[in-house]
Chains A and B, each alone.
Chain A
Amino acid sequence: MIADYDWAGGTEAMLRFGPDTGPVMVAILPLFEEANRTRTFAVRLLRLLAGRGIAGVLPDIPGQSESMVPLESLTLLRMSEAIEGLVDQFASAGRRAYGIGIRSGALLDTLALLDGRWHFAPMAGNELLRELHRIWRAADPDRHKGDIQAMAFGSDGPVEIAGNLIGSDLLAGLIAAEPFDQSGIPRRIVRLDSDPRPADRHLPGTPLWRRSEPDDDPALAGLLADDIASWIAQCEA
């Protein structure tokens, strides 16, 4: 079901799944191109959670997906304020909310008053910057020269990277951005088997965010839905 949510900067759309009561999982897609590659998967995951009696939402982040807000006007802080507004909306209705941060989506849940954060393959902002820089260089090797600073601050206007116009404030904000581990609030990290970085659990699956065409991994979605469901049960106990 499509609904709206309000935040300090306006109104955005969201998809709602599952019951109208109980805790809500707020799924936050990665930034930029990876959002397109993981959306189908995130919808499948939220449907599976709904089938387990757990409510979920997939909000449009300002500047992403169908949002009318130009991406070039946004910063990490503004995007995080949108998630904050969404979570406040549930809080005022007496519902607890948990974040599902996917990849760089784990950088956008810092302001929201969440009851827990479940991060799938989370990444730091500087890792994302490195990837953006590599894509920027590859797009036009003759003209796109220099380091990350040259990419972010080399021109007056926003930088076009793989079809996204990204402002220098947003790029600068990524330099020090880390997934939030809030003291006293449950946080769980799940990664793929192929990712050697530390996590609470490693699971077999495909890094869909790398695919040039959107794809899906139903088996992985099932494993993650089970993991989230048991984690929520413990958080809520």
Chain B
Amino acid sequence: MSIGGSLPKDKRIGALVPEGRQEIEDTVRATLCDVLGLAPERVADFAPETPLFGALPELDSMAVAGLLTELEDRLGILIEDDDVDGDTLETFGALTRFASAKALQ
């Protein structure tokens, strides 16, 4: 039984999974912001060549785990840990390309 102005369960609303490249980049930006607790204006300035792993003290190995899981949830993708290497998180551009390749498969 579902009450509270809600729809029956089989009609529960799912927000749309981001699909376009720009949408995916925006999602990666928002996820970095939310997981690492960075200021939105700082993340808005990230360019493709902006370094991430090793350059952001917030991005330690635990945070990487949370970041990957949150990207999976938001983009509706599955990331095998073996797919992730040192290069994946080297720059904002590399991470966005990785996420796009997974999401647009």
Interface residues of A (CB under 8 A from B): 130-131, 134-135, 137-139, 162, 181, 183-189, 193-202, 206-207, 210-213, 215, 227, 230-231, 234-235
Contacts and interface: CB of A to CB of B under 8 A. Distances in A.
B39 interface: no
Contacts of B30: 194
A200 B15 contact: no
A189 B72 CA distance: 20
B12 A186 contact: no
Contacts of B70: 207, 210
9 contacts: A135-B62, A185-B1, A187-B1, A196-B16, A202-B13, A207-B34, A211-B35, A234-B3, A234-B5
A230 to B, nearest CB: 7
Contacts of A189: 12
Nearest to A184: B1
Top-9 shortest CB links A-B: A198-B12, A200-B6, A231-B4, A138-B61, A198-B14, A134-B65, A210-B35, A210-B66, A196-B17
A56 B16 CA distance: 34
A185 B3 CA distance: 10
B17 A186 contact: no
A212 B60 contact: yes
Nearest to B37: A211
Contacts of B14: 196-199
A139 B99 CA distance: 23
Interface of B: 1-7, 9, 12-17, 27, 30-31, 34-35, 37, 58, 60-70, 73-74, 76, 81
Contacts of B13: 198-202
Nearest to A202: B15
A27 B6 CA distance: 21
A90 to B, nearest CB: 21
Contact of A200 (B7, B17, B69): B7
Given A134-B81, A212-B60, A200 B4 contact: yes
Contact of B34 (A134, A187, A194): A194
Contacts of B35: 207, 210-211
B4 A212 contact: no
Contacts of B74: 194-196
A186 B4 CA distance: 9
A93 B17 CA distance: 46
Contacts of A138: 61-62, 64-65
Contacts of A130: 69
A185 B13 CA distance: 20
Contacts of A139: 61
A212 B1 CA distance: 37
Given A184-B1, A194-B34, A234-B3, A200 B12 contact: yes
A120 to B, nearest CB: 13
A197 B93 CA distance: 27
